[in-house]
């Protein structure tokens, strides 16, 4: 059984983690709203990137076993 361990999943997770990290660091000690917004956009884009990569064949096969 696969737990979603595919290039599409890993890329989506890493981009999301990078976006969350960037957005969090941008708020310390004085808020930098431009970097925070970039981090938020990266976090949202991670889901889109994962879906596009999965549609391109880099995801897992969801056929029933």
pTM, two decimal places: 0.83
Q: Note whether 45 and 11 are within 8 A (CB).
A: no
| DSSP reduced 3-state for 61 | coil
In the predicted model, what is the mean pLDDT of residues 1-19? 85
Checking if the pLDDT of 61 tops 90, the result is no
Rounded Cα distance between 8 and 54, Å, is 6
Tell me the per-residue pLDDT of 24-59, one tens digit each, with 9 for 90 and over.
999 998 999 999 999 999 999 999 999 999 899 888
């Amino acid at each position: 059984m696969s737990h979603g361990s595919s290039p599409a999943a890993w890329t989506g997770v890493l981009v999301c983690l990078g976006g969350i990290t960037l957005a969090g660091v941008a708020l310390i000690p004085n808020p930098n709203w431009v970097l925070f917004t970039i981090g938020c956009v990266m976090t949202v884009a991670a889901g889109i990137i994962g879906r596009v990569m999965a549609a391109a064949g880099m995801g897992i096969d969801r056929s029933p076993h």
